[in-house]
Amino acid sequence: MRSERLYRTEAIVVRRRDQGEADRVLTLCTPLGKLAVIAKGVRKVRSRKAGHLELFAHTRLVIARSRSSWDVVSQAETVEPHAILRGDLIRGTYARYVAELYDRFVAEGEGGEPLFDLLRRTLGYLCEAEPGRETALLVRAYEQRLLTLAGFRPEWGHCVGAQEGRTCERPLKAEGNEPLGLDAERGGVLCAGCYQAHRKQRGIVSLSPAALRLLRACQRQSFARMRSYPAEPALLDEVERAMRHYVTHHLERNVRSSAFLRRLKREDGT
């Protein structure tokens, strides 16, 4: 395939930046992996490709290989524009968050069809879901699937703690009110005993049994079922904080769109 000058792929635009006077560099999620390409002249008023290369758009592309720079977008055809994500501030910010997570966790040239399908389905659900509880649950489910595919799957079933040099591995019971712990460095949850023993260590935060139940559901249940999961605002906030802690630890940086989303929710009172 590398010997062919042109190749075709479906793609989702996850990031764009201007280049020169009229060009734009695009970061794409594709079934072939994560790609960086350039769309020449796309910022000109008469460009025929511009409307097909909007942020979050699902497109079919013909791309020309380049030996010295980015591959060049030759043709573009929209499959699904996801236009509502660019016209609705809340939905659009959630979409920016899921796209940014993909961009941060997946290196250029890596990824593939499962990640492309995950992002495509998530953006489609965000177009349909009601802003608020539904969108929050969908994004939590997306996080679990992305982390699994990227090799950072959290352990929600057994304790990841250790005492006296021995790993615990006790099955976790998501019931009652006794607090558990989230240890992002070890990649999962601490049982009540391990949490009490290590709760003062840096990087370990409290996690309620109800939050663990929700996180398990996000990891195991379909998007369609997660949309109707019974979760109060306080529980959604707790799980959001837990996942922000986990994601930030593994990325070693904050997710910019996450901070903006929290600000929007405070201003909106949701």
> What confidence tens digit (pLDDT) does each residue in 213-251 have?
999 999 999 998 998 899 999 999 999 999 999 999 999
In CATH, the number for domain 6-80 is 2.40.50.140
pLDDT digits (tens, 9 = 90+) for 76-131: 999 999 999 999 999 999 999 999 999 999 999 999 999 999 999 999 999 999 88
Q: What distance in Å separates the CA atoms of residue 227 and residue 217, rounded to the nearest whole number?
A: 11
Between helices 233-251 and 89-105, what is the axis angle to 10°?
A: 30
Q: Domain 90-270's class?
A: mainly alpha
What is the model's pTM?
Answer: 0.93
Confidence of residue 1 (pLDDT cuts 50, 70, 90): very low
Confirm if 242 and 154 have CB atoms less than 8 A apart: no
The domains of the chain are located at 6-80, 90-270
